[in-house]
Amino acid sequence: MTPATVQAPSKKKTPSGARELPGAYTGKLLRVDLTKKKCWAESWGPDDMRELIGGVGLGAMILYRETATRGGKGNVSWDHPDNRLILATGPMAGLPAWGSSGLTVVTIGAGTNGPTSTQANGFFGTNLKYSGYDAIVVQGQSRDWVYLYINDDVVQLRDAKFLVGKDTWQTQDALHEATGLAGHQLSVYSIGPAGESLVRFAAIQGDYGHVASKNGCGAVMGRKKLKAVAIVRGTKSLRAADARGLVQAADDIGFDLRTDPSAKSLYEYGTLPGVVNLSRLGALPIKNYTTNVPSIDMSQWEAPKLREGFDHRGHQCSACGMHHCHMSVIRKGDHKGSIVDEPEYEGWSGAGWAIGAVSDVDGVAWLNTELDKACLDVNEFGWICGWVMECQEKGYITEAQLGFRLTWGDIKGAARLIQMISRRQGFGDLLAEGVKRAAEKLGSPAKDCAIYTERGAAPRGHDHRARWDEMLDTCTSGTGTLESGVPVHPTEVGQPARINTFDGEAVAKFIAGIRGRRNFEDSLGMCIFTTRTRLENLCRALNAATGWDVTVPETVRFGRRTAAILRVVSLRSGHTPDLERPSTRYGSTPVDGPAKGQAVGEQWEKMVDTWYREVGYDRKTGKPLPATLKALGLDWLARDLWGKKA
Ligand code: SF4
């Protein structure tokens, strides 16, 4: 196959009257049409940058503008050539601040067949910006497997035959070998067998252990026959409008992360403390939500113990000083000597607690990396594997159906399930459709044990029956995952520091009140762990980088604008308000543990009503109300959505 090559112009034509670009931007989007095998650089200007920032802000607008059907009443499906796969950074990517190599993937995902926004880190953001692009926008579908190679102005769609069938780590190894580059010199994001097989919860995995995992974005990449994106660390420079101010703001953010009680443990141990902390709240999902009482001594799950148990070394992302992200060596058991990525909290949860594997930490760490290699979302895998285990125990799924016996905590069996799902073998073909579709196919009583939202999204790896804010956020979100939480310094946006987490009305007001911040963070090109500082600090960094004067209220307004745009794409995708609810098991009442008897189902309708009222959306149609849109400066969207009624 002849590679399609673009020699992007080193100097773009400046339209008459155009203003100088803000600092921190390259000013170019890399467009890739896989059907036509064409790549080209597209300029974008200061006004769009200020309005959309980058990341999910930019991605949401591209989805809105480019994926509509039926005159704006419908939307393309996830597997349509016109679906867009947007791999976006943001203004902070490539600059000297912690966590500034962020990748935000925005697309119509295969899980909900609606919009999604999901983040990862590593070296993607930095390498792309240094190559001269702020984002990649992929459209069309290739006939043959290709990978996208970027090396400054050389952009090529290359034959990926030699990569097909390889897992994500093997793919990265092969591309390093093919290019003679290693480590951060070449950032690789790819799909493994699950993405190739269009598994509806396939993820995009990169740089050995970083995962954009939500809503089947890996299946979108698979449908486009794009096996990988490989970006050589470019040689172009980035300009900060106020370099001294940027370094000062970045220093203050680092100080905050090291010392603020709300971020300190994250700085020291990443997300490891989550296991023990959440178990104390009844929010650690154990054995598919069948219990909230750990059957073992939890001291072995304390963060220092987890890290001490493995030989490890830091594997931090570009320019990041957090003590997070490690490569570990398995010390004992069947996989002794294997190198794995230290699991995040969600890895311990999805590859461990949710499936009843609570003692074999070596086995769980290994299984978690197997999921990354196959490119399966660890959260949804936890729900589906735990569900199969429970259904087998109860006789709802027979040994003959599955092909073997799978019991709680069976790591080998879970690994077998990964292979079956990733390659759609046997019963794995059904499971590859995701929890919701598999459960609906089998019907009750199996269906009643499955954890999902009625839209088809998989919850994050918590027991949300003890975190009603996250359940409400997951069910109403326009991104197929959390859109508003986790709350960071809520008082800064006028919300209380604490609420009664089992008071549905207070929870709904809180989630509506903090709405906006997260979309702002996900537009910066920064990691969500290094944005756990006050918005004021993030504004200082962004303003120093760009030369803008963004204020805290403006960040919230920006995030809510982005949420409204995603909501409209979501409605176009057929996500009506009646789907905004948890499945029977997801919305059930815990039978034991700290949240025993707390019945979210009894308050659900009131919670959703309150949320709608607070965010200013129409409860019946799900549409943002004209007044809400106008207050956000989205008059054009009000007209699109409401016509003359706007
Ligand atoms: S906090 Fe962790 S994931 Fe985030 S940028 Fe730093 S090392 Fe990477």
C-alpha of residue 526 to centroid of ligand 1, in Å: 9
pLDDT of residue 405 exceeding 90, the answer is yes
CA distance 522 to 104: 7
Three-state SS for 539?
helix
Q: How far apart are the C-alpha atoms of 277 and 80, rounded to whole Å?
A: 42
> What structural domains and CATH numbers belong to the chain?
21-232 (3.60.9.10), 264-449 (1.10.569.10), 464-531+551-638 (1.10.599.10)
Angstrom distance (rounded) from CA 155 to CA 127 = 13
Q: Cα(188)–Cα(244) distance, rounded to whole angstroms?
A: 32
Residue 2 pLDDT greater than 50, yes or no: no
pLDDT score of 16 more than 60: no
Alpha helices in 375-467 (DSSP H): 378-394, 399-402, 411-422, 428-431, 435-442
Interval between CA 102 and ligand 1 midpoint (Å): 9
Please give, one letter per residue, the 3-state secondary structure of 65-113: HHCEEHHHCEECCCCCCCCCEEEECCCCCCCCCCCCCCEEEEEECCCCC
> Average of pLDDT values for 508-529?
96
What tokens appear for 168 in the block?
């994500």
518 CB less than 6 Å from ligand 1? Answer: no
What distance in Å separates the CA atoms of residue 262 and residue 563, rounded to the nearest whole number?
A: 26
CB of 206 sitting under 6 A from ligand 1: no
Distance in Å, CA 324 to ligand 1 centroid: 6
Q: Where do the H-state alpha helices sit in 443-503?
A: 468-476
Q: What percent of the chain has pLDDT over 70?
A: 97
**Radius of gyration of the chain measured on its C-alpha atoms:** 23
Nearest to 295 by CA among 388, 383, 359: 359
Q: What does the pLDDT read at residue 394?
A: 98
The two tokens of residue 614 are 């607070």
**Minimum mean pLDDT range among 175-179, 306-310, 534-538:** 306-310
What does pLDDT average to over the chain?
Answer: 95
ipTM of the complex: 0.98
Query: What are the phi and psi torsion angles at 227 (to 5°)?
Result: -75, -35
- Does residue 325 line the site of ligand 1, with CB under 6 A? yes
Q: Which of 173-182, 316-325, 397-406 has the lowest mean pLDDT?
A: 316-325
Closest by alpha carbon to 322, among 100, 544, 91? 100
Q: Is the pLDDT of residue 12 over 90?
A: no
- Tokens, residue 299: 């001291």
Nearest Cα to Cα of residue 342 among 322, 320, 319, 366: 366
Token pair belonging to 184:
């951060």
Average pLDDT score over residue span 346-366: 97
Q: Are 503 and 538 in contact (CB under 8 A)?
A: no
Between β-strands 146-151 and 226-232, what pairing exists: parallel, antiparallel or unpaired? parallel
- Residue 407: helix, strand or coil by DSSP? coil
561 touches ligand 1 (CB under 6 Å): no
Ligand 1 contacts CB of residue 324 (under 6 A): yes
Least Cα distance to 361 among 462, 272, 267 occurs for 272
Residue 549 burial (CB < 10 Å; 0-12/13-18/19+)?
exposed
pLDDT of residue 18: 57
pLDDT > 70? residue 251: yes
Q: Give Cβ neighbours of residue 232 (< 8 Å, ≥ 6 apart).
A: 127, 131, 149, 150, 151, 152, 179, 181, 185, 186
pLDDT at position 6 is 43
1, two tokens: 């196959």
CA 344, CA 411: separation in Å to the nearest integer?
18
Which residues, 6 or more positions from 21, have their beta carbon under 8 angstroms from its beta carbon? 27, 45, 46, 49
Please tell me the predicted confidence (pLDDT) of residue 387: 98
Mean pLDDT value of segment 611-629: 98
Which atom, in ligand 1's list, is nearest to the CA of 122?
Answer: 8
- The pLDDT of residue 585 is 98
Q: What is the pLDDT of residue 183?
A: 87
Residue range 86-91: average pLDDT? Answer: 98
Q: Can you tell me the distance from the alpha carbon of 3 to that of 37, in angstroms, rounded to the nearest whole number?
A: 8
- Least confident range of 171-180, 298-307, 427-436, 629-638: 298-307
Between the alpha carbon of residue 455 and those of residues 22, 60, 102, 447, the distances in Å are 39, 19, 27, 15
One-letter identity of residue 530: T
Helix (H) or strand (E) segment spanning residue 361: helix 361-374
Q: Most distant CA pair in the chain: distance in Å?
A: 71
Residue 308's pLDDT is what?
Answer: 84
Give the integer Cα–Cα distance in Å for 260 and 275. Answer: 21
Residue 312 — very low, low, confident or very high, per pLDDT cuts 50/70/90?
Answer: confident
Question: Cβ(572)–Cβ(558) under 8 Å?
Answer: no
Q: How confident is the model at residue 311 (pLDDT cuts 50, 70, 90)?
A: confident
Dist. CA 597–CA 589, nearest whole Å: 6
Question: How big is the chain, counted in residues?
Answer: 646
* φ, ψ of residue 441 in degrees (nearest 5): -65, -40
Residue 316 Cβ inside 6 Å of ligand 1? The answer reads yes
Query: What is the atom index within ligand 1 of the atom nearest the CA of 321?
Result: 6
Neighbours of 366 (CB within 10 A): 22
Q: Is the CB of 214 under 6 A from ligand 1?
A: no
Please give the distance, rounded to the nearest whole angstrom, from the Cα atom of residue 317 to the centre of ligand 1: 5
What is the reported pLDDT for 496? 96
Q: Which of 106, 108, 54 is nearest to 78 (CA)?
A: 108
Confidence of residue 486 (pLDDT cuts 50, 70, 90): confident
Cα 440 to ligand 1 centroid, rounded to whole Å: 37
Q: Candidates 184, 265, 488, 530: which one to mutate for ligand 1, based on the most atoms within 8 Å of Cβ?
A: 530
455: helix, coil or strand? coil
The predicted pLDDT at position 361 comes to: 94
Q: What share of the chain is helix, strand, coil (3-state, %, to 5)?
A: 45, 15, 45
Q: Which atom of ligand 1 is nearest to the CA of 317?
A: 8
Q: Ligand 1 atom 3: the closest Cα is on which residue?
A: 121
| For residue 276, cis peptide bond before it (omega within 30 degrees of 0) | no
Of 540, 632, 542, nearest to 60 by C-alpha is: 632
**Helical H runs in 184-224?**
193-196, 217-223
**Mean pLDDT, range 27-40, rounded to an integer:** 98
pLDDT for position 384: 98
Q: What does the alpha-carbon distance between residue 407 and residue 431 come to, in Å, rounded to a whole number?
A: 17
Q: Report the C-alpha gap between 346 and 271 in whole angstroms.
A: 8
4 CA to middle of ligand 1, Å? Answer: 34
